[in-house]
Structure 1
Amino acid sequence: MKVIYLTEPYDPKKIDDEAISLAMGFFDGVHLGHQKVILKAKQKANEKKIKLAVMTFDKHPSVQFQKKPERSIKYLTSMEKKISLMEGLGVDIFYILTLNNDLASLTPQDFVTKYMIELHAQVVVAGFDYTYGKKDIANMDTLSKYAHQQFEVVTVPELISEDQKISSTRIRAAIDKGQINDVNRLLGYEYQTIGEVVHGEARGRELGFPTLNLEFNEHIRIPGPGIYVTRVQVSGVWYRGMASIGYNVTFGQDRELTVEINLFDFNEMIYGQQVTVEWLSYLRSEIKFDGIDGLISQLNQDKKMTNAYFN
């Protein structure tokens, strides 16, 4: 897959000089609804024997148009993960647009001309709610007018699960509530995050459950407090484990949120390394115990439940 970064005004020489079927959207999470859009564009590409291209922005549109602080945005997928998912879906060209003032100031017609027609799109596919300017004049209903018969417009309707639209907003809310089983079902794959192993209080080792203590980039969305079944990739190898996200309430009040993962069959010091966490299932909420013995007993039960999940 070819990844092409474009900044307005872009150099025309960067554009791949072949006809494409173009899927458009921000695609945070690349969930089942997004996959429906991309696979529709792929179907059109196969029918016309042209390449499949996808276009996205380098940051969430709300940062530019609603002036939200970028530090407040927590994504479902990093750009690195998004690129990997696009490649897995068979995308040939992945265009990533820098969302800056020059791009945002384009008229709907200019945007369609520069980022659809001049990219050699024969087909443009997007979700029913996709916009490329002010919603009332730059939506999927008006796109055919701006296309001037230069390309076919395909609008993909919303994908429904349990009487609700599958959306990034819905998935973010589920992650925050710890509903990781629902998250994975709506994504169509297991949710992953990348974190750095840091020093902790070493209390897990004293309890007989040594843990990796992780810190995450401020833009990464981690699940809400609770105990989870996980897999963790360390140096290319996947290990089974159980994760605790919480405030260690058994050991005092007003503590900071921590992410600690007890890996099975693993006993290495890897401080400073980046690891990938795959969040598989929710086990229980965080519990405050009266003493250490109750906590250790619960951890043993958590381990049994985690092994039962994998078996």
Structure 2
Amino acid sequence: MQKIYLHHPYDKTQIINEPIVMALGFFDGVHLGHQRVIKTAIDEARLRGIKVAVMTFSQHPKIVYQKLDPKEMTYLSTNERKEELFEQLGIDIMYMIDYTYDFGMQSPQTFVDDYIVAFNVEVIVAGFDYTYGKREVANMQTLPEHAKGRFEIIEIPELILHQKKVGSSNIKDLIETGEIETANEELGYIYQTSGVVIHGDKRGRLLGYPTANILTDDLELIPAVGVYVVEIEVGDHWYQGMASIGYNITFEANRKMSCEVYILDFNQTIYGEKVKIKWHHYLRPELKFASTDDLIHQLDEDLIDTRAYFATLGG
């Protein structure tokens, strides 16, 4: 996949000088609804014998329009993860635009002229709720007026699953309430986050369950407090594990939230390693135990449940 990063106003020499089909969207999470948009664009491009592109943005437009602090935003997918998902789906060209104030203040007509027509687009594919400015004047109903017959438009209707629209906000709500398996169904893949292994309290070693303490990416949405069945990638290998997100309330109060992973059948020192975590299944909430023995007993039960879960997957 060819990756092209643009800052408004862009250098025209960066634009691919050939006809394309383009999928439009912010695509946070690249969930099943987004995948329908992208796969439709790919199919249309293959029929025409031309390349398929996607246009996305470096940060959420809310940061500009609602004047939010970028540090307050969390995403289902970082830009790096989003690029990885685009490539897996078969996108040929990715245009990632820096969503700045100047870019966001363009008129709808200027956006269409400079970011669609000037990109040699033959067909645009976008979701029913796509906007390219203020919703009331720059939406899928107004796009034909701004297109002026210079490209075709394919509008993808909303996708309903679990009696709700599949959307990034709904999926975030599911993840934040521990409904990870439902979220995974709507994503169309196992939710994944990233981080770096750092030093922790090393208390897990004393319990017989040494854990990797993960410094998570501030931009990524972390699942709700609780214990989960996960996979963790260390180096180029995925390992089975169980993760705890919480405050270690059994040992002391007022601790910062931590993310710790016990990696099954693993005995390596991995401080400083960059890792990825796939969140498969919610096991239980964080509990406060009366004694260390009670905690160890529960961890033993969690391990049994974790192995049983992977056994059902054939893993």
Match of 1:277 in 2: 277
Match of 2:184 in 1: 184
Match of 2:24 in 1: 24
Deviation at 1:271, TM superposition (A): 1.1
Conserved? CA contact 2:108–2:132, under 8 Å: yes
Q: Does 2:92 correspond to 1:92?
A: yes
Match of 1:162 in 2: 162
Equivalent pairs counted in the alignment come to 311
Deviation at 1:83, TM superposition (A): 0.6
Match of 1:225 in 2: 225
Match of 1:46 in 2: 46
Cα distance in 1 for partners of 2:90, 2:256 equals 42
What are structure 1's unaligned runs of at least 5 residues?
none
Superposed CA RMSD in Å reads: 0.8
Deviation at 1:252, TM superposition (A): 2.1
Q: Which amino acid aligns with 1:49?
A: G
Conserved? CA contact 2:216–2:259, under 8 Å: no
Encode CA deviations 1:28-76: one digit per residue, 9 max, x unaligned: 0000000011111112112211111000010011001111110000111
Deviation at 1:205, TM superposition (A): 0.4
Equivalence map 1:1-311=2 (5 Å): 1-311=1-311
Cα distance in 2 for partners of 1:257, 1:154 equals 45
State the SS of the aligned residue for 1:295.
helix
Cα distance in 2 for partners of 1:124, 1:202 equals 53
Encode CA deviations 1:157-189: one digit per residue, 9 max, x unaligned: 100002100000011111111111111111000
- TM-score if structure 2 supplies the norm length? 0.97
Q: Which amino acid aligns with 1:294?
A: D
Deviation at 1:135, TM superposition (A): 0.9
Q: Which amino acid aligns with 1:67?
A: K
Deviation at 1:146, TM superposition (A): 0.6
Q: Which amino acid aligns with 2:291?
A: G
Deviation at 1:291, TM superposition (A): 0.4
Cα distance in 2 for partners of 1:155, 1:104 equals 22
State the SS of the aligned residue for 2:76.
coil
Cα distance in 1 for partners of 2:77, 2:105 equals 27
Deviation at 1:101, TM superposition (A): 2.0
Cα distance in 2 for partners of 1:182, 1:232 equals 20
- TM-score if structure 1 supplies the norm length? 0.99
Deviation at 1:214, TM superposition (A): 0.7
Cα distance in 2 for partners of 1:66, 1:256 equals 29
Cα distance in 1 for partners of 2:16, 2:307 equals 49
State the SS of the aligned residue for 1:249.
coil
